[in-house]
Structures are given as structure tokens and as C-alpha cells.
Amino acid sequence: MSHIVVDPITRIEGHLRIEAEVDGGVITDAWSSCTMWRGIEKILNGRDPRDAWYFTQRICGVCTTVHALASVRAVENTLEIVPPLNAQLIRELITATQFVQDHVVHFYHLHALDWVDIVSALDADPAATAKLAGSISNYSRSSEGHFATVKERLAGFVGRGQLGPFTNGYWGHPAYKLPPEGNLLAVSHYLDALEFQRRYIEMHAILGGKNPHLQTYLVGGMAIPIDPNSQNAINAGTIARLRSLLQEGLDFVTQAYIPDLLLVASFYPEWTAIGGGVGNYLAFGDFPEGQQNPSMDPDNLYLPRGIILNKDLSKVVPVVPEKITEYISHSWYSYEGGDGEALPPLEGETTPNYTGPEPPYEQLNTDAKYSWLKSPRYDDLAMEVGPLARMLVAYGSGHKRVQELVGAVLGQLGVGPEALFSTLGRTAARGIETQVLAEHSLTLLDRLTANIDGGDLQIHNGYRWDPKDWPAEASGFGMHEAPRGGLSHWVKIADGKIASYQAVVPSTWNAGPRDTNGVRGAYESALLDTPIADPEKPLEILRTIHSFDPCMACAAH
Amino acid sequence: MPVVDAPTDSILHALASHGVTRRRFLEFCAATTALLALPQSYAPRIARALEDKKKPTVVWLEFQDCAGNTESFLRAVSPSVGDIVLDVLAVEYHETIMAAAGFQAEAAKDAAVAAGGHIVVVEGSVPTGANGVYCTIGGKSAVQILEEVTAGAAAVITVGTCSSYGGLPAASPNPTGAVGVPELVSGVPVINLPGCPMNVDNMVATIVHFLTFGALPAVDGEGRPLFAYGERIHDHCERRAHFDAGQFAQEWGDEGHRKGWCLYKMGCKGPSTFHNCPSIRWNGGTSWPIGAGHGCVGCSEPAFWDTMTPIYGRLPAPPGFGVTTSVEQIGAGIVGLTAAGFAAHGLIKAGQRKRAHKQDEAPIEIESATADDEEGAGQ
Amino acid sequence: MTTDATPRPQDEAIERTPSTELVVAKVWELPVRVVHWTIFVSVVVLSFIGFYIGTPFLSTGSDPGFLMGGMRAVHNLAAFTFIAAILARIIWAFTGNKWSHWDQFVPFAKDRRANAKDAFRYYVFLSDDPPHEAGHNALAGATYFVLFTMFLVQVLTGLALLSLESEGFLASTTGWVFSIAPIPWVRFLHHLIMWLTWGFVIHHVYSAWLVDSDAKAGLMSSIFTGWKRLPPEDL
Ligand code: HEM
Ligand code: HEM
Ligand code: NFV
Ligand code: SF4
Ligand code: SF4
Ligand code: F3S
Ligand SMILES: [Mg+2]
């Protein structure tokens, strides 16, 4: 039996530490710990609620749009402000493209090296690689010459002996199964995806001035004006540019991401039976089909709201936001009423109480508090959130496009729906969702264009912009389905100031420590029974953890 | 496609080996020369310097950050992040992108540091409260890691306001005792590239400057390079003509806002902020905050989280008042209270005089004398 | 210019009034009066424009104009006039007559302390006898000291704000201001002092009127003409 510590977990956002017991070549227990905290919820106290989006946006620079959106929604709900349709559609457009960019970067730059052995690509035959590429997709950069150049570049890079970010990878690990040509193909697309993501996200600069950290959200709407007759506003030219970028995104997903995903998955069928986890899936849903407030009005969301319990796809349970609570018995916080209880976010407290070892330390005391994350629970149940939860809820709710794509992917891999409850299922769900949203983004742009054509130029609802029109006290929440899962912000406003602010974040749901009842969160559960070939090189831990796309800045905030 | 025969250490060869033509390379050098505010005659010198240099080792540390600066880094256009990470620099440690994990990752860092002469890039603030427990990596606190990694370094570049000045984590009430990196590093030159996040073009230019001249560029009083932070947003803003004209957006989406008028009344902090956003813009020159209709928040200024907020007010709200209380309200209050106070004083004095008048006879002569006096004085 | 405390021929008539024995004195020399009214006019202009800079309540609408640009130019012009007036007054505090001397602004000397006590008793209703003093009473002098300190801060913050627009002399001489307070707070202070100044003006005009109506020495008119009419022992 051995105790493994992986700290830092890299190729994620932030500071995550995994400790695991390995017995007989499999993981028998696991602990997930986030080792960084800033106190943003406390910093928000006493500030102007209209500024909150700008602060919370900095919870994370990777999912840079999501906390801004959850925050303006929370404040709008609290003050009963309804943003105009144009603003709603621009927000959704930004969100859909955030999903595409975030998922592409995750697949190629954060997750791929768990399955792709860079060094093995040096043995690839460029001609055979071109043939392989041609057999899975009509993606343009697939000539023999192109792969020869990539291989040469890689060879030069390895030959110089300065491996840079690829230094000390688990290269040559027996769990790598892709043939050299598959590896070379992936390396080539790794580079292409770097270029793609930065060009594609120029869309956010068009709509929000810059990315990361778009500067365009407002309580009550958006700050990017619309005027077909102005060169300082969204006009026909901007829309044409957006359309071409959206199309480019859809092409990249269809021609590179999805085929690459299927190729990689086909070499790792055993990973459809590893990494399942808690088995309960929660999605808040998003992308309203009408002009509606998606936090309060869950009907008619393009990505539906719901819960799948115990992997039972036949039933989607409705979500009651009031059933959300957070435990801290294993988190470095204290609650006034005792550390054992669970608090709903509107009554939530954030009082740091570090009881861990003094740094530098070798091992955490996992019997006591061991993480900066709280343990969110729904109706006292641990939940997994994220692309898999969303695709399962959509699938169970009868979402046509999702059912189609899930069916196609399962068919091509020759597995049944139960394969979805796994590490590979999570990774596949993310790819499917990217396809769905890359398509949906064009629909959103069409709706925005049609609305502008109809003469509507409004981007902001000035009702209650002025704090003197606010009630003396009010509270509420905003929900958003972020790339990594369901996100909710909860706010209390008193005398024009923030009196309390709590964010309950996707990666907190997944990466949180055990709760008072000893129930494990999604990461800890998913790691159980994972085979470990070499405890010195726990590649398998990275695979399952990366399949969640961890973001610790989000999770701990 | 130009192909190099043998791999060499030069950056030009590295760039050329995957199809960056010499022309594109020289264009990059010219653009960087301009960004650095150097005469164009320096461009060949920059090109030569880059051609000769071995890939410099970079250790990129993330502490109390949001990875926004890493994301900004991924948006590099010319050279692209692929070029930078694979060919221009040897990024031996960067948690968000590196392949190795756990102790293998730490080993890569230790090796790079042991070799010395490396460039340290730091993203995020450093918590000093509670003995540094608010940020640990591999069991070590950020303070400990920073000390280890900066020893023997050639230079430290702080990217983002958190790393330069403490940023968001240090905003009041600074729950973790967060500070900027310069407060903790000594003996190694440090340069600040604040911004939330930093603009990658400025980072590339800083590194090129360092490789070309062997020293960091000149800085202002806040430790920021003058070539990027020497002038105000307001003085290069494309909406400045509207400011001078007195044309202001008054409400979001009104005619002025749609026409690109000045955002001063919407709380723009451009008049108090030093950054080159208006000229280099963001995401490969696509746009920038004011260009897209929202005021500047002052993200490159120290403590902007506390001094430039509320975002939609022009001036900070004084502590002890409501968050949206303006200096106008306070000032009018002061004037009103003073007026009321003296009015009350006047009434009491009047009452006092009436009583005094009753008690003793006022000398009539003086009154007449005063009347005369007034006449006399008025001549 | 010298102190003119001797009775003038045209004042004979009043001289002869037995019960008062008032003399006429040229208390405020021309520079003091010119400075006073220059400050007054520039403060009115600076305040109006300053308020506009802080809250641009007028807009040129679609017509191209130079409203803010013009306002700021006039603010700068008035600011330098204001600075010149302050400097002139500071010089005069060392070269002018005894009532304009710098020691009139700080109640340190024994008689000034006594005068401050009288003035205080008068202001808080403990006495109806106004303070006897040809120049400023000691309390008024102290308020002018506070005022001038505020003005110096105003000049400093104003020059520092001006230096943001330019590198060079101004920036290198006033840059240190921002190491004491960040730019937004410097603006805030500059703005706040405007309001404090108007708070002072209310107090100032009221008190001048009040004292004048009790002491009847021609205080109000003296700031226009320079002359006051007083019992000789007050000189
Ligand atoms: C009694 C004297 C003065 C008053 C009442 C006054 C008033 C004001 C006010 C209210 C503002 C607006 C501040 C804001 O909200 O940002 C302002 C701005 C300014 N004042 Fe003054 N000021 C005075 C003297 C000066 C002086 C002596 C200078 C020196 C040059 C000066 C230079 C400036 C500058 C540069 C600005 C900023 C303009 C801008 O940001 O566009 N002021 N003033
Ligand atoms: C911005 C407005 C004003 C300012 C800053 C101001 C300031 C001053 C100062 C500094 C003095 C002392 C003179 C010296 O020793 O140089 C003074 C004296 C005086 N001012 Fe003003 N003043 C203002 C407006 C006015 C107005 C509107 C009046 C009356 C209509 C007035 C009446 C007087 C009188 C009567 C004195 C002599 C009072 C004494 O002996 O203490 N002032 N003022
Ligand atoms: N977890 C998380 Fe986020 C996302 N998506 C957000 O709420 O990554 Ni930074
Ligand atoms: S400076 Fe801004 S972008 Fe950079 S780490 Fe801090 S909050 Fe994130
Ligand atoms: S928008 Fe801001 S930076 Fe631009 S001119 Fe107006 S106040 Fe200045
Ligand atoms: S908020 Fe920051 S990004 Fe530029 S425009 Fe202002 S300095
Ligand atoms: Mg929270």
C-alpha cells in the first residue's frame, strides 16, 4: 500500500493537490485539496452591487465571462431589473463562444497530453499521418508536407534539449496507447488549436473590448452599443465579422475537435469504465429561448435544468435552488453556529480558519480540515456538475440535437449509454457540447440580427440604475451554467451596499472535500478504483481529474 | 517553406524552421521597436540580438491569481504563443500549460533555478498573513517559493496588478495579507507589468528589450516601463475629441453612447490611468474597453480596486458614507450645514441684541457716527 | 505705503464728536484689497468651472464645440491668476503694514491671544462686545490661516493634476503628491476643498457683517476702500 501525493496538479487552473491511497494497483481512497484562497466574498462586502460583476469576474481568468454574468444576474434578480433582449442575446453569444474556446483549450492544451505521447510522435511517418488524418476528417491542414514540417519542428525542439513545458512529462508510460501517427496528428492540432483559440476569441474583444476579462457587463444590460449607422457600435460590419468567426469555430470543432476526440477515445475503451464518481448530476441549464430570466424561469432553456439521480437517465428531477447548502467540516473555515452544519448560501459565512500543517509540509491531515473548498450539497447529496451533467440532463429531457450527437458518438465507439458515466464519458460529453453550442452560437447571432433589424437598439434597462431607487433591503441569486458546471451567486443588498455575497461554484461542487457525513465529492469518488500502473507516475490520476477540467481559482475564490 | 538543416539555438532559426519567414520576423522586430518607443534604427539591433541569443529559461509562478495573465499570454499574436513557448523561450515551469505534474514538475523548476540566469514571471499576489498558508504549492508557501525561485534569477517580471501591487486579493480588507512581489524580492531587478490582466504585447516587448539590451526598460515611479505606462489613457483616447467638445454619453445606449462620445460621465477612469491600451489595444489590436463602450476602470494603477471604485462614479466614495455618495453631495452638505449653522447663530445674536437693547441705552451718537462714516468711506 | 493712522482734514467733523473720539485708519493697503478681490473672482470662476469639470451639466450635443476644452483652459488661466494672487499676498505678509503682517494670522502673541478670547466670547454669545482690533480679529486671522493652507493644498493638487498631462518640470516637481495620495483621492481632495472654500465664504461674509453691525467701524466697506473708523486705542 502506498500514499501518493500529486501537488501541483498541473494543466489546470490553480492550485490543486490530490492525495491517494493505492493498494494492489488501484486507488482505495482519495482526498482533493485546494491550497489557495483570496477571500473575494469578503472583499465584496460593503461595495456597490453594480461593481460586483467586475470583482467576481476576477475569480477566474479562464472562465472569464461566467462570474460576471452570474453576478449581474444575481443583482438584477435582487433588484427586479430585466435586461433588454439585445443584452440577453449578446450575453448568450459571449457565453456560447466562451464554452467553445474554453473546451477547445481544455481538450488540446490541458487534457490531450494525458492521452498523447509527444515523444512518440517523433517516430511517426508523415505520409501515414496524412492518410490517417484524411480518413477521419476533411480538415485542411492535413497534407504530408504539413506533418513533415510539424515533425521537423518537434525534432528540432527535442534535439535542442530545452523541452520547455514538455520537460519531465510521463513520456513512454505504458498507459499511452496512441500510435505514433495519432500522436503526431494530435501535436499538429495542439499547435493549430493555439492559433485558433486566440483568433476565435477576438469575438470577445469585439463585444467586450478585451479577453480575458471582458469589460462590458452592466447591471441591467451590456455596455456595447448597437447602432447600424455608427462605427462605434455593433453594426452590419461587426455582425459579418462575428459570423465569420463563429463559422470558423464551428468548422474547427466539426473538422478537428470531434474527429480527434473520437480517434483518441477509440484507443482507450477501458476508460469508459473508470472514473464514474458520485452518480448524481446537477445542471442549472442556460440559454433561454425567449426573453426570460434563466435563474428564476427554468422553462424553455436551450440547455435544460434538472438532476439525474443514481445514473438513472429515465428521470430528470426538477431543481429547487433553496436545497443548495455548503458544508465546511473538512474546509479551512468556521461557521458561527458550529462547523458541522450546512448553511444555505444566503445565510452563508466565509470565515477562514486554517488548521492544517505549517508550510513547508509533506502531508495534510485528511482526517481534519484539509482544503480551502467548501462542500456544496444539493438536498444533502453530493453532485457532479459540468458538461457530462448537462449532456445527461439534456439527453434525459429529450433534447433532440444532444440525443443525436450522443447516439452518434456512442455508436461510433460501439458502447452503450452507461459508458457515459466515466472519465472518457466526461471528455466526450464536453466535445459533444462544444459541437452543440458552436452550432447554437450561429442561431443566437441570427436572433440578435433579426432583433436589430426590427429596430431595437436598446442594450440597457435604466430602471433602478440609480441606487436611490433601490429597496432598503433585498436579497436574491443568479444562476448560470458555466463551462465547468452550474454556478450560482447569492447576494444581500442593504442600504445600497453589498451586505453579503456568496458564490457556489462548479469546481467547488466537483472538487470539494468530504462533508460532515463523510460523503466524498465528485473528484474523490471518481478516483476510487482507478488502476495505477506506476505510483511514481500517476498518469491515471491526471486523466480522471483533468476530465473534470478543474479550476481552483473558481472553486476557492 | 524554409527548412533549416540543423537545429540551432538561435531564435530566428527557431522561428524560421516552422515557416516564419525572415520578413515576418523583421516586421515583428520593427513593431516591437515602435512599441518600445525606440527609433526605428534600433530594429536591426533587436533582430541581431534575437538571432544570437540562446533560448532564455523562464519560470512562471502562479500564486493568488486567476490565470487571467496566463490566458492573456495565450492570446499573443506576433510572435504567437506557440512561437514563444516552443521557440523563443524555454518555459520550463508554468503550471497551467506544463506536461509534468507533482514532484516531476517541481524537479523541472528546481533544475531551471539551479542553472541560474533565468527569467521569473510571477502572476498573482503573495499572501503574507498566517505564515503564508493561504497559498501553498507542493507544501511550500508562496513566500518560500518566491524566495527560492528568484535566487540567482536575471530578472523578475510581475504580470498583472495582483503580482505588481497586490491587486484584488489585497483589496480592502485584504483578508490574506496579500502583497505584490516587489515588496518581497531584493537583489534582483523587478519590473511591473500591471493590468488586469497585463497586455501580452507589453510582456513580449519587455522581454525583447531585455534580450536586446541586457537590461530592463526604464520605469516610472510605480516600477512600470515607460514605453507602456508613460502616458494616460485619456491623452490618447479616441474619444478625447468628444471630451474636449463637451459631448458625453449620459445613459447606456443613448445617442451619445452609440455615437462613441466620451464616457467620462459613466465613470471612466481614463483621466487617472497610465496604460497604453488606446494605442496597442487588445487581442491583436481588435479593440479595447473604451472602444467597446465601457469606461476604463484604471486596472493598471496600484490599489485601483479601492481607489477607482465605485466603477460608475467619477471619484472614490469616502469611507463612512454610502458607496455612491459623491463629493458633490458631501460638499453641498457642508455648505448647507454651514449656512444653517450661521443662520441659527444670526437668530440667537439678534435675540441677544434685543435683550441688550432693552437693558442699557444704546449710544445714539455712535449709530449716527457710523452712518456718517459709511457715507465718508463711500466717497 | 505706510500706515496712515493720523486723522485726515475731511474727518474733522467726526473728530469733534466728543463721546466716540474715532479716528480713521487706512488698514487695508491697495495690494491687500486687490489680492482679496482677485482671489474672490478667481475662486468664483475656478469653482464654477471646477464644478463643471466634476459634473459636466452642459453638453454641446451634436454640434461640435470645445466646451470642456475651453472650460479647462479657463480653469488653468484662472488657476494661475489665483496662484499669482496668493504669492503676492504671501510677499505682502512680510512687506506690508502691521495689519497685513503674517503674525496677524497666528494667535501666538499675548495680545492676539487675549483678542482671540474676546472674539470667542463674542461669537459664543458670552459677550455682546465685538472684539476690538483694527486689523483682523485674532480668530478671523486664524480662519484665514486655515484658508490659505487649504489654498496651498488646492494649488498643489491642482498642479499635480495638471502634471498628469505632461512629462517634464511640472511632473517632476509635483509627482510626489501621488505618493501621498493616489490620483483619485487627489482629485477628491481638490474637489472637496472647493466646497470647503464656499463653507468658509458663508462664515466669512456673515461674520464680517455681524462684527460690522456691532462694532460699526466700517469693516465691510474697508475691504473695498481700505479705511476703517475706530477708537484710537484699537489701532
Ligand atoms: C480655489 C481654487 C480652485 C478650485 C475651487 C478648483 C476646483 C476644481 C474642481 C472642483 C475640479 C474638478 C475635480 C474633479 O472632480 O476631478 C478641478 C479640477 C482641476 N483643477 Fe482646480 N480648482 C482650483 C484651483 C486650481 C489650481 C490652482 C489649479 C492649478 C493648476 C487647478 C487645476 C486643476 C486641474 C488640472 C483640474 C483637473 C482637470 C481635469 O481633470 O480635467 N485648480 N478644480
Ligand atoms: C471667495 C471668497 C472670499 C475669500 C476667499 C475671502 C478671503 C478673505 C481673506 C483671506 C481676508 C483677509 C484679508 C487679508 O488679510 O489679506 C478677507 C478679508 C475680508 N473680506 Fe473676504 N473673502 C472672500 C469674499 C468676501 C466677500 C464676498 C466679502 C464681502 C462682501 C468679503 C469681505 C471681507 C472683509 C470685510 C474683510 C476684512 C475682514 C477682516 O478684517 O477680517 N470677503 N477675506
Ligand atoms: N469552476 C469553474 Fe469556472 C467555470 N467554468 C466557474 O464558475 O472556471 Ni475558472
Ligand atoms: S491581475 Fe487581474 S487578471 Fe491578473 S491575476 Fe490578478 S485578477 Fe487575475
Ligand atoms: S472616454 Fe474616458 S479616457 Fe476617453 S476621453 Fe472620455 S474620459 Fe477620457
Ligand atoms: S481598465 Fe485597464 S485595460 Fe486599459 S482601458 Fe483601463 S487600463
Ligand atoms: Mg463561495
Taking a C-beta distance cutoff of 8 angstroms, is the pair B313, B329 a contact?
A: no
Question: Atom 5 of ligand 4 has which residue's CA nearest to it?
Answer: B65
* Total number of domains constituting chain B: 3
At A243 the pLDDT is 98
How far apart are the CA of C187 and the nearest CA of chain B, in angstroms?
A: 7
Do B352 and B262 sit in the same domain of this protein?
Answer: yes
Average pLDDT, chain C: 88
Find, among A112, A140, A142, the residue nearest to A128 by Cα.
Answer: A142
At C20 the pLDDT is 57
Q: Does residue B146 lie in a domain region?
A: yes
Do B186 and B215 sit in the same domain of this protein?
Answer: yes
Do C138 and C70 sit in the same domain of this protein?
Answer: no
At B321 the pLDDT is 80
What part of B 356-375 touches C (C-beta under 8 Å)? 356, 363, 365-367, 369-370, 372-374
pLDDT digits (tens, 9 = 90+) for C188-206: 999 999 999 999 999 999 9
ipTM: 0.94
Q: Average pLDDT of C7-13?
A: 41
Q: Does pTM surpass 0.90?
A: yes
pLDDT digits (tens, 9 = 90+) for A92-141: 999 999 999 999 999 999 999 999 999 999 999 999 999 999 999 999 99
Residues on chain A touching B253 (C-beta within 8 angstroms): 221, 225-226, 457-460
Q: Does residue C18 lie in a domain region?
A: no
Do C107 and C207 sit in the same domain of this protein?
Answer: yes
- Spatial distance between the Cα atoms of C16 and B374, rounded to a whole number of angstroms: 17
Taking a C-beta distance cutoff of 8 angstroms, is the pair A534, A26 a contact?
A: no
At B264 the pLDDT is 97
Q: Does residue B369 lie in a domain region?
A: no
Asked if B131 lies within 8 A of A359 by C-beta distance, the reply is yes
Domain C-terminal end among B198, B227, B256: B227
Q: Which residues contact A555 (CB under 8 A, 6 or more apart)?
A: A14, A34, A373, A505, A506, A507, A508, A511, A512
Angle in degrees, CA C183, C189, C194, rounded to 5: 135
pLDDT digits (tens, 9 = 90+) for C42-54: 999 999 999 999 9
pLDDT digits (tens, 9 = 90+) for C146-160: 999 999 999 999 999
At C21 the pLDDT is 75
Do B49 and B65 sit in the same domain of this protein?
Answer: no
Dist. CA B164 → ligand 7 center (Å): 26
Dist. CA A60 → ligand 4 center (Å): 8
At B7 the pLDDT is 35
Query: Residue B43 has which C-alpha cell?
Result: 530594429
Find, among A304, A486, A485, A487, the residue nearest to A396 by Cα.
Answer: A304
Asked if B282 lies within 8 A of A233 by C-beta distance, the reply is no
Do B71 and B206 sit in the same domain of this protein?
Answer: yes
Q: Does residue B11 lie in a domain region?
A: yes
- Provide the β-strand partners of residue A479: A488
Residues of chain B with pLDDT under 50: 1-9, 362-379
Ligand 4 atom having least distance to the Cα of B64: 5
Radius of gyration of chain A (CA): 23
Dist. CA B178 → ligand 7 center (Å): 19
At B6 the pLDDT is 34
- Per-residue DSSP letters for A14-42? S-EEEEEEEETTEEEEEEEEE-B---HHH
Q: Does residue B297 lie in a domain region?
A: yes
- Catalytic residue set of A: 13, 60, 63, 67, 484, 507, 551, 554
- Provide the β-strand partners of residue A333: A352
Do B90 and B46 sit in the same domain of this protein?
Answer: no
Query: Residue A471 has which C-alpha cell?
Result: 429597496
Do B246 and B296 sit in the same domain of this protein?
Answer: yes
- Provide the β-strand partners of residue A384: A281
Taking a C-beta distance cutoff of 8 angstroms, is the pair B173, A42 a contact?
A: yes
Do C105 and C212 sit in the same domain of this protein?
Answer: yes
What part of B 4-63 touches A (C-beta under 8 Å)? 4, 7, 9, 14, 17-19, 55, 57, 62-63
Give residue C89's domain range.
42-95
Do C174 and C200 sit in the same domain of this protein?
Answer: yes
Tell me how many residue pairs between chain B and chain C have CB atoms under 8 A apart.
155
Which phi and psi angles does B159 have, rounded to 5°? -105, 125
Do B194 and B335 sit in the same domain of this protein?
Answer: no
Q: Given the C-alpha cell 541581431, which residue does it identify?
A: B48
Domain C-terminal end among C55, C71, C95: C95
Q: Does residue B10 lie in a domain region?
A: yes
At C216 the pLDDT is 86
Residue among B254, B309, B335 with most chain C CBs within 10 A, to mutate: B335
Residues of chain A with pLDDT under 50: none
Q: Does residue C3 lie in a domain region?
A: no
* Total number of domains constituting chain C: 2
Residues on chain B touching C183 (C-beta within 8 angstroms): 272, 301, 307
Query: Residue B239 has which C-alpha cell?
Result: 474619444
Q: Are strands B136-137 and B140-141 parallel, antiparallel or unpaired?
A: antiparallel
Q: Does residue C191 lie in a domain region?
A: yes
Do C88 and C167 sit in the same domain of this protein?
Answer: no
At B360 the pLDDT is 57
Do B5 and B114 sit in the same domain of this protein?
Answer: no
Find, among B238, B240, B264, the residue nearest to B250 by Cα.
Answer: B264
At C168 the pLDDT is 81
Find, among B72, B17, B33, B325, the residue nearest to B208 by Cα.
Answer: B33
Domain C-terminal end among C75, C95, C115: C95
At A105 the pLDDT is 98
From the list B4, B107, B324, the residue facing A168 with the nearest CB is B107
Taking a C-beta distance cutoff of 8 angstroms, is the pair A137, A263 a contact?
A: no
Give residue B220's domain range.
55-227
Domain C-terminal end among B195, B227, B259: B227
Dist. CA A61 → ligand 3 center (Å): 9
Q: Does residue B372 lie in a domain region?
A: no
From the list B342, B348, B373, the residue facing C125 with the nearest CB is B348
Query: Residue B366 has which C-alpha cell?
Result: 455712535
Do B44 and B93 sit in the same domain of this protein?
Answer: no
How far apart are the CA of A161 and the nearest CA of chain B, in angstroms?
A: 10
Asked if B293 lies within 8 A of A209 by C-beta distance, the reply is yes
Asked if A233 lies within 8 A of B91 by C-beta distance, the reply is no
**Chain-centroid distance, C-alpha A195:** 21
Do C85 and C131 sit in the same domain of this protein?
Answer: no
Q: Does residue B298 lie in a domain region?
A: yes
Residue among A4, A36, A532 with most chain B CBs within 10 A, to mutate: A36
Do C60 and C172 sit in the same domain of this protein?
Answer: no
B300 lines ligand 6 (CB under 6 A): yes
Residues on chain A touching B294 (C-beta within 8 angstroms): 208-209, 215-216, 218, 223-224
At A199 the pLDDT is 96
Q: Does residue C176 lie in a domain region?
A: yes
CATH number of the domain enclosing B290: 4.10.480.10
Residues on chain A touching B291 (C-beta within 8 angstroms): 209, 232
Q: Does residue C110 lie in a domain region?
A: yes
Taking a C-beta distance cutoff of 8 angstroms, is the pair A146, A93 a contact?
A: no
C224 vs C134, more confident: C224
Do B95 and B142 sit in the same domain of this protein?
Answer: yes
Q: Does residue C196 lie in a domain region?
A: yes
Ligand 5 atom having least distance to the Cα of B264: 7
Residues on chain B touching A216 (C-beta within 8 angstroms): 289, 292-294
Query: Residue B73 has which C-alpha cell?
Result: 499570454
Question: Atom 4 of ligand 3 has which residue's CA nearest to it?
Answer: A484
Residue among B55, B58, B133 with most chain A CBs within 10 A, to mutate: B133
Do C90 and C103 sit in the same domain of this protein?
Answer: no
Taking a C-beta distance cutoff of 8 angstroms, is the pair B106, B138 a contact?
A: yes
- Spatial distance between the Cα atoms of A512 and C115, rounded to a whole number of angstroms: 74
C196 lines ligand 1 (CB under 6 A): no
Taking a C-beta distance cutoff of 8 angstroms, is the pair C88, C150 a contact?
A: no
- Per-residue DSSP letters for A385-405? -SHHHHHHHHHHTT-HHHHHH
Asked if C194 lies within 8 A of B315 by C-beta distance, the reply is no
- Provide the β-strand partners of residue A540: none
Which phi and psi angles does A402 have, rounded to 5°? -65, -45
Q: Does residue C9 lie in a domain region?
A: no
pLDDT digits (tens, 9 = 90+) for A277-319: 999 999 999 999 999 889 988 999 999 999 999 999 999 999 9
Three-class DSSP labels, chain B: CCCCCCCCCCHHHHHHCCCCCHHHHHHHHHHHHHHCCCCHHHHHHHHHHHHHCCCCEEEEEECECCCHHHHHHHCCCCCCHHHHHHHHCEEEEECCCCCCCHHHHHHHHHHHHHHCCCEEEEECEEECHHHHCCEEECCEEHHHHHHHHHCCCCEEEEECHHHHHCCHHHCCCCCCCEECHHHCCCCCCEEEECCCCCCHHHHHHHHHHHHHHCCCCCECCCCCEHHHHCCEHHHHCCCHHHHHHCCECCCCCCHHHHCCCECHHHCCCHHHCECCHHHHCECCCCECCHHHCCCCCCCCCCCHHHHCCCCCCCCCCCCCCCCCCCHHHHHHHHHHHHHHHHHHHHHHHHHHHHHHHHHCCCCHHHHHHHHHHHHHHCC
Do C113 and C217 sit in the same domain of this protein?
Answer: yes
Three-class DSSP labels, A49-115: HHHHHHHHHCCCCCCCCHHHHHHHHHHHHHHCCCCCHHHHHHHHHHHHHHHHHHHHHHHHHHHHHHC
Do B344 and B211 sit in the same domain of this protein?
Answer: no
> Is residue C94 helix, strand or coil?
helix
At B21 the pLDDT is 59
Task: Report yes or no: B301 at the C interface, CB cutoff 8 Å.
Answer: yes
- Spatial distance between the Cα atoms of A365 and A31, rounded to a whole number of angstroms: 10
Domain C-terminal end among B207, B227, B247: B227
| Per-residue CA distances from B295 to A438, A511, B33, B257, C228 (Å) | 30, 37, 29, 11, 56
Do C91 and C107 sit in the same domain of this protein?
Answer: no
At B31 the pLDDT is 82
Asked if C178 lies within 8 A of B221 by C-beta distance, the reply is yes
Taking a C-beta distance cutoff of 8 angstroms, is the pair A113, A484 a contact?
A: no
Domain C-terminal end among C95, C116, C135: C95
pLDDT bin (cut points 50, 70, 90) of residue C58 is confident
Q: How many CB atoms lie within 10 A of CB A178?
A: 20
Residues on chain C touching B271 (C-beta within 8 angstroms): 164
Q: Does residue B238 lie in a domain region?
A: yes
Do B270 and B329 sit in the same domain of this protein?
Answer: yes
How far apart are the CA of A310 and the nearest CA of chain B, in angstroms?
A: 33
Query: Residue A523 has which C-alpha cell?
Result: 473528484
Do C106 and C216 sit in the same domain of this protein?
Answer: yes
At B1 the pLDDT is 32
Q: Given the C-alpha cell 471630451, which residue does it identify?
A: B243
> Is residue A531 helix, strand or coil?
strand
Which phi and psi angles does C187 have, rounded to 5°? -60, -45
Do C107 and C216 sit in the same domain of this protein?
Answer: yes
